[in-house]
Amino acid sequence: MKATTITTSLAALAAVAIVGASSPAAAFSACQVTDVGGIDDKGFNETAWKGVQDAKAELGIDIRFLESQAETDYEPNINAFLSEGCGIVITVGFLLGDATANAAQANPDTPFSIVDFAYDPTIPNVLGQVFATDEAAFLAGYLAAGMSESGILGTFGGINIPPVTIFMNGFVHGANYYNAQKGTNVQVLGWDVDAQEGLFTNNFESLDDGRAFAQNLFDEGADIVLPVAGPVGLGSAALADELGTDKLKIIGVDADQAVIDSEKSHVYLTSILKQMDATVLTAIKAAHGGTFEGGVTVGTLENGGVGLAPFHSFDDAIPADLKAELDAIRAGIIDGSISVKG
């Protein structure tokens, strides 16, 4: 049995080697290089990949991805796609900034688009996608402050980089805004806005860290925790699931975690959405249609690039007044009357 399998696979190998060598790579392909979280991180990389998949559905193009296992993979992964003749290379993550800039400058005819990095000055063939995530995080901070029974919120990040800390800034400012409006004293543990220092797992992978950090915050009294570290937050959600949502609730990031992490959907109060799928899709469409231009695109509450996910199982638990206030603040942020910078 084993021998036949081996023989068959060898035969298949030989056959495909011949076919594979002769198949042309003529079609337009959109290629994504992920950060170390991986393509199935239920967040950041996966959301961007959804945009690539949407492009496939809409335009019928080829799509490919490469997962980075370490930061030394960024450059060779991009190069691998360049030698495959990709029509556009999407790099996902601030940490790929250097590698993307180098590759883009060496290959000025290939369109690139990077999520979470804006070059200054801009590179003509790179479209940077950045997000005013603090606008949505502000709403989440206000909501969490209104929902907290202990009056203590918690947050922690993956690595101390701008696309992570912007969530934490907005969250803290949102909670402070609630305090200013209501005369309460809700505190946020894990992030010092003035010093720009706080709790970081220093990785975007370890679910154990996500659990341990959430446990520490819970032990300090926090009953709502915002983990900003991609899949690390799944560990926090597991803890909330075990403790029960009356003790600990989680706010998801990047995508609607209640949908993506469906087994634990009941622990997510809401999620701070960063609609990378939409911006990635737009970038691919532009490259496919020949209208691609480098520069920077900013996702905001106004253009729908960032937002707050539905409340799902907490919909009934959130008072109507609080929902109305959130709507008012949302409008205030869009018209500029409320500043999310504190």
- Interacting residue with another protein among 41, 46, 73, 116 (CB under 8 A): 73
- Closest Cα partner for 63 from 27, 114, 39, 17? 27
82 near another protein, rule: CB under 8 A:
yes
Residues 6+ apart with CB under 8 A from 334: 300, 301, 302
Instruction: Give the pairing of strands 295-299 and 126-131.
Output: parallel
CB of 109 to another protein, least distance (A): 12
Tell me: does residue 56 bind another protein (CB under 8 A): no
15/324 with CB nearer another protein: 15
54, 59, 101, 107: residue in contact with another protein (rule CB under 8 A): 107
Would you count residue 7 as binding another protein (CB under 8 A)? no
Nearer to another protein, 94 or 131 (CB): 94
Beta bridge partners of 272: 253, 308
Q: Name which position in 122, 160, 265, 297 contacts another protein (CB under 8 A).
A: 160
Q: Nearest to residue 203, comparing CAs of 189, 216, 213? A: 213
Q: Which is nearer to another protein, 2 or 183 (CB)?
A: 2
Is the backbone of residue 192 left (phi > 0), alpha (psi -120 to 50) or beta? beta
Show contacts with another protein in window 185-204 (CB under 8 A): 196, 202
Closest separation between CB of residue 267 and another protein, Å?
29
Size (the chain), residues: 342
Orientation of helix 320-335 relative to helix 133-147, angle to 10°: 160
Under 8 Å between Cβ of 252 and 272: yes
Span interacting with another protein, options 11-19, 217-225, 294-302, 316-324, rule CB under 8 A: 11-19
Q: From the CB of 64, what's the least distance to another protein, in Å?
A: 6
Token pair for 227: 């983990």
Q: Per-residue x/- mask for another protein, residues 14 to 43, rule CB under 8 A?
A: xxxx--xx---------x----x-------
Position 79 contacts another protein (CB under 8 A): yes
| Contact status: 298 vs another protein (CB under 8 A) | no
Going by the DSSP 8-state scheme, the letter that residue 300 receives in this structure is: -
The least CB distance from residue 78 to another protein, in Å, is 9
Beta carbon nearer to another protein, 170 or 305: 170
Does 161 bind another protein (CB under 8 A)? Our answer is yes
84 burial type by CB count under 10 A (0-12 exposed, 13-18 middle, 19+ buried): middle
Enumerate residues 6+ apart whose C-beta is below 8 A from 267. 237, 240, 241, 245, 248, 249, 250
- Chain contacts with another protein (rule: CB under 8 A): 2, 5-6, 8-9, 12-17, 20-21, 31, 36, 64-67, 69-73, 75-77, 79-84, 95, 98, 103, 106-107, 159-162, 165, 196, 202
